[in-house]
Structure 1
């Protein structure tokens, strides 16, 4: 191997030094350039806080019940003589449904009638006696005042006895009228529990089951238990839609008619009722309905922000407000959510600047110089 000449070695050393110097110079130039160009602050998109109202709804099961429903019992202990209706019979108010017989009641009525006629005769006699004495007493010295007073008292006593006999007769007669049961309102017989010849009486006496169950069908009640969280969105003018399983393609409407005004202690819900007109009888008492409730809050007191503007951190729930070019975490409570928007409640005011996409990387009290207002969507 040939030894390297001094001239070649000198040229190689010079070239190596030049490369090293060039590399150092390039690195220094990049560092100086980086120092001269400051890093731009990230752009924070923000929205102007406005009051609003979300249009949302909840689905709650409800039950359709008859607007009027009654169990018909016998007033007196008796035997069923004849039934004039059966299950499914449509009856009108006042229509005769069943007749019963109780021989002892007829005997009591006959006795009361006899006592009434007897007392009427006694009263007419005492009244005639008093009238004659009164007429005779007009001649001085014929009738003493004591005899006249006794005759008047006897007349009053017999009149009181007559009134008592009349009351007793009416009582027995009314009792006999209870042997006929008539429909208190128009509806349909949904249950029959006895047959002709059965012994019936008041509840617990003779029969624990009613003779008939009558339900109104042309008008129904839709009963729903609304959870406590949603009771503030309801009022007496709220309209709802509902469907039933037997008619899934048809939607029915109803308006809230009655609110219980208190929560059920077990369910923590308020019972509300809606009147449903059912003249076509498509709906039946006992059906389960799926009810859609529109939830409308007070737009004058509710703030609505994009759902991403709500920060759920380990410390709580916040929105990030920009005040004097600084970010401030404001604790809030959330309400309903719909269409990527959320109701928030806290120390907020209209036109406050709120960071559109909240993140824990945006620290509380950090500088926010590069803020861009955008439209909330």
Structure 2
């Protein structure tokens, strides 16, 4: 039971993973969703249980776009957060600040309005803080980009993104949107089970996601790939890591034993992005060679984080921003779970196995040796 491995902690109608049928959101295969829909369709699906029709999607997108602008007080909070702060702490603090200004109704009657607001605001938190502290200016949060994927890229880099970049970002948002009772989602559900507000659920998820064993794997994976000048050097280092019995981040998974169903999509996206003028195709070759060697010699498949870091690198996104992008995606899953938990609630309060001392007599401080 270490780490609750193998323990069924609840019921959910949102997602299946590792049950013999790959990864499904509300019954839909992840490959279809990642490559055939916009992320907004997927977010709507997770939150409402069904894919939207054209009118429903248009209305949903309008609400998200309207949520991009931030109150002056939140902007002032973002300005006051030091440039040296971890971007995940920036996201957490801005979420709390918005929750103070625009609280959720106590009966949760406006919960859908709050999460669509947050889906619009999450990218704005990051780009506003980034440009204020990195470029010394107050970025305009209004954009012609209609999708979250396009908005993130356009506002962060202040230039119109390429279609291949928007496709990749859109797919990555979908691939990371939901994953059953992972650490951050389960933590989010615990908060929801106390009947706390949606902002508290989101900040719980952000705090859990910040840990390197959960949200930061793609940062470490791309750092590993970038240190090598060619395939041979990389494979030699892999041999040395094997000899020292050290792990390579981005391989193996708690749930998937044979294949992470998100990984083939990651391979495809990275393969397409390597053709950009600003990309270094050699990095893809190094990553592919390492992937094949680890699988052949250790039987460990790569997970989405291994090529995920390369995808973001090819789009020229700062490494510390990879996990905040995870928030912008997983927020849809977190909210779906919070809604589900609060709708049929019983507070989550497991028991522990006690390993401390047996009952003993109290000794006053005067008589203690």
- TM-score w.r.t. length of structure 2: 0.20
**Structure with higher helix content:** 2
Higher relative contact order (CA 8 A, sep 6+): 1
